[in-house]
């Protein structure tokens, strides 16, 4: 009987979120999406676009961009260029209420 109680206590401890270390989530893949801006247009306008066409977005130069993790807004940031690559630097973490 004592062995069963110890095993049950061990299982409860292992499944308690307060006891999980951060390392247990390090290998979970997440999808990161960076939204530079948005626009809408009719299909016929879209079909007329060609190479070099410019699509005007709803954001202005210098405005923060939205950073989503698994479709949830988590931060805002700025576009940076690093060694001929485009990157993002986070400037604000968005705090949301836990559900």
**Contact assessment for residue 37 and residue 46, using Cβ atoms and an 8 Å cutoff:** no
Distance CA 67, CA 45 (A): 28
Give all domains of the chain, ordered by start, each with its CATH number.
27-93 (2.30.330.10)
pLDDT, tens digit, for every residue of 35-89?
Answer: 999 999 999 999 999 999 999 999 998 899 999 999 999 999 999 998 999 999 9
pLDDT, tens digit, for every residue of 2-45?
Answer: 555 555 555 555 555 565 678 888 889 999 999 999 999 999 99
pTM, to two decimals:
0.65
What percent helix, strand, coil does the chain show, rounded to 5? Answer: 25, 30, 45
The number of beta carbons lying within 10 Å of the beta carbon of residue 36 is 13
Q: Tokens 């308690």, residue? A: 16
Distance CA 6, CA 4 (A): 5
Q: Can you give the pLDDT at residue 96?
A: 78
């Amino acid at each position: 009987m004592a062995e069963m109680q110890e095993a049950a206590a061990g299982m409860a401890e292992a499944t308690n979120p307060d006891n999980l270390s951060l390392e247990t989530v390090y290998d979970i893949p997440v999808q990161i999406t960076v939204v530079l801006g948005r626009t809408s247009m009719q299909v016929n306008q879209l079909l007329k676009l060609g190479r070099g066409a410019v699509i005007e977005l709803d954001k202005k130069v210098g405005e923060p961009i939205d950073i989503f993790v698994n479709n949830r807004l988590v931060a805002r940031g700025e576009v940076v260029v690093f060694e001929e690559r485009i990157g993002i630097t986070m400037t604000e973490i968005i705090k949301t209420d836990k559900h």
